[in-house]
Copies of this chain bind each other. A is one copy, B any other.
């Protein structure tokens, strides 16, 4: 029991209680990590700014100070989650589109095979599926961070649509393999999935037809 929950602090405008001791990059990072954990554990609906503040050991006013509304905290937490999931360098980094289908397939599978990343992606995904506000954050971030960067490298008509088609396949595999856990897909060797899927992605990303 910490922060705002421990005692009713006197209300002061302009400076949240305990802000001095808790402010700075350390507190900001703690808030983000607490937010990510809270959203993952409780879902978007049941997570509150107050709960995040409590978990981070700071006052709720400090969360508002750094991030604003609950939606904005969610956006920052999702940004942090997606930070290591940016495929641009791994997929189209050297500018060559030879083998880009295989690189994209392998990249997605590796991100999802990693239990830590998988748990975070699932949490974000669950929130997006149940709350329009969360879906909007995901839509904006995924568009800006991932699909635009891949699409910018393509030399096909409607490159964004092509990048989305490729991504949709990998998202669907993630849903069937890791969420619904349909067999045999759930226990198929990842390399076999990459082998089957790579030509599909290659066609979407490079075939002008």
Chain A 155-170 interface residues, beta-carbon cutoff 8 Å to B: 158, 160-161, 164-165, 167-170
Q: How many copies does the complex hold?
A: 2
CB contacts (< 8 Å) of A139 on chain B: these are 180-182
Do A188 and B172 touch (CB < 8 A)? Answer: no
A184 within 8 A of B: yes
Alpha-carbon separation in the docked complex, A172 to B177 (Å): 12
CB contacts (< 8 Å) of A199 on chain B: these are 203
Q: CB-defined interface of A127-157 with B at 8 Å, one 1/0 digit per residue? A: 0111000010011001100010000000000
Do B128 and A179 touch (CB < 8 A)? Answer: yes
Interface residues of A (CB under 8 A from B): 43, 125-126, 128-130, 135, 138-139, 142-143, 147, 158, 160-161, 164-165, 167-177, 179-185, 188, 193, 196-197, 199-200, 203-204
Q: Is the interface of A mostly helix, strand, loop or mixed?
A: helix
Looking at the complex, which one of B158, B179, B184, B196 makes contact with A184 (CB distance below 8 Å)? B158
Alpha-carbon separation in the docked complex, A180 to B131 (Å): 10
CB contacts (< 8 Å) of A161 on chain B: these are 184-185, 188
Task: Closest B residue to A172 by CB, please name it.
Answer: B172
Task: Closest B residue to A167 by CB, please name it.
Answer: B176
CB contacts (< 8 Å) of A138 on chain B: these are 180
CB contacts (< 8 Å) of A170 on chain B: these are 172
Q: Which of A135, A158, A171 has the most CB of B within 10 A?
A: A171
Given contacts A125-B129, A126-B129, A171-B172, contact A165 B185 (CB under 8 A): yes
Do B130 and A180 touch (CB < 8 A)? Answer: no
